[in-house]
Amino acid sequence: MAGRKPADQQMFARLREIRAAAQYLQNFAIQARTQVASLDPAARAGALLEALSPAFLNRLEQAIAPVLDSIRQAFAADSEEYEWCADSVATIRLTWASIKDLWPAATLTYEAADQRLTAINALLDQIVYQCASLTIAPRVNDCLANLRTGQVLDFDFEFGNELPQSTELRKRLILELVQESGVIAGGIVDADNRVIYKIAPTRGKQVMSLVRLLLWFVAGGAAIPLVITQITHFTWPLYYNLLQDYVFLFAGTLAHLAIEAIKAARAQTRPSFQAMNDWVLWVHVREMQLLWGIFYGWLGYVLLVTTLGAASFQWQAAFFSGYSIDSVVEVFLGRFQAVVKAQTAAITA
C-alpha cells in the first residue's frame, strides 16, 4: 500500500465493499435455490420467495446505496478520481438499479422467479467484474510485496473469491493485467498459466539470472568431460572431443527452446508472457526450472557418453540428443534399470 494516495485507498475499499455485497447476494441466492430444489413443486415458490424477500433486498440496498453515494461525493471532491472510474461506477449503479427492478415479486411462480434469479446472477457478475477490474491490480501488488524474487503467485488461488463466476470474465481480468502490465509493480503476468511471477526490480538483477545459469553451464563443461577422461584414460584429443559434444548437446537444447518459443509466439492470439517478447525476463522468472534443465542435461550427457562410448559419441548425435533430451534420458534410464534388474537377479540366484 506504500505510495497509494488516501483517495485511491478509499476508492478501492468502497469498490471492494460493493463487490463483497454483490457476491454475498450471489451466494445467498444460489444457496436458496439449492435448498428449495428438494421441496415439493407446490412449495418451492413460497420457500424461495420467502428467503429472497423484499426485506432481504432492502438490507442489501442499505449496504450498497450509501457506498455509491460516498463515491459520488468523492467524485465531486476529486476530479482525478472521477475521471479514473466514472464509467465503471455508472455501470455499477445502473446494473444495481436493474437488479432491483428484476427482483422477484411474491406473486411469481417458481419457474418465473428462477428465471429472474438467473438474470440477476448474470447482472451481479457484471458488478463483481467492474469492481475487480479496478481493484485487482492493487491487490496483486500488495501480495507481491510479500513474496521473494522468483516466487509464483497463483492468481485463482489467491483471488478466486474476488472474481466473477463467469469463466470468460475471469479470463478477461487476467488479460487486462497482461495488457496493462505497467500497473503491476515487481511482477510479470503469465496469462496462459494464470500465475504472476515476482521479478527483480532492476534489469541488472534480472540479467544476473542469465549469468548464474551460464556459470553453471561453464562449470559443468569444465568438470564433467575432465572427470570422464580421468576415469577412462586421459588424452587431450579425447577431452576436446568430449567438450565439443558437451557444447553441441546444450546447443541442441537451446535450439529446441528457441523453436518452441517461435511456435508459441506465432500461435499467440492474445497478450501473454512469451519468451520471444523478452528473453532476459523469461530466463529470470524461470531460473530454477532452467537450472534443473541443466542438471538434466548433465545426466543425459553422462548416460550417452558412458553408454555409447566417449570415442564414438559424435557432435551430430550430441546436438540432436540435446534437442530431444527428455526422450533420450528416458530411453537410457529405462535400459539402465533393465540392466540393474538383470544383474540383481543374477546375483540373487
pLDDT tens profile 244-270: 888 888 888 888 877 877 776 666 655
The pLDDT-based confidence of 332 (bands split at 50, 70, 90) is very low
Given this model, what pLDDT does residue 150 score? 80
**Would you say residue 312 has pLDDT above 70?**
no
Whole-number mean pLDDT of the chain? 84
Query: pLDDT per residue over 275-289, tens digit each?
Result: 546 778 888 888 888
**Would you say residue 101 has pLDDT above 60?**
yes
**Would you say residue 273 has pLDDT above 70?**
no
**Would you say residue 313 has pLDDT above 70?**
no
**Selection from 191, 129, 192 nearest residue 163 by Cα:** 129
Q: Where are the domains of the chain?
A: 6-198, 203-348
Query: pLDDT per residue over 142-165, tens digit each?
Result: 999 898 888 889 999 999 999 999
Query: pLDDT per residue over 1-39, tens digit each?
Result: 556 788 999 999 999 999 999 999 999 998 988 888 888
Judge residue 254's burial from the number of C-beta atoms within 10 Å of its C-beta, 0-12 exposed, 13-18 middle, 19 or more buried. Answer: exposed
Q: What is the pTM of this model?
A: 0.75
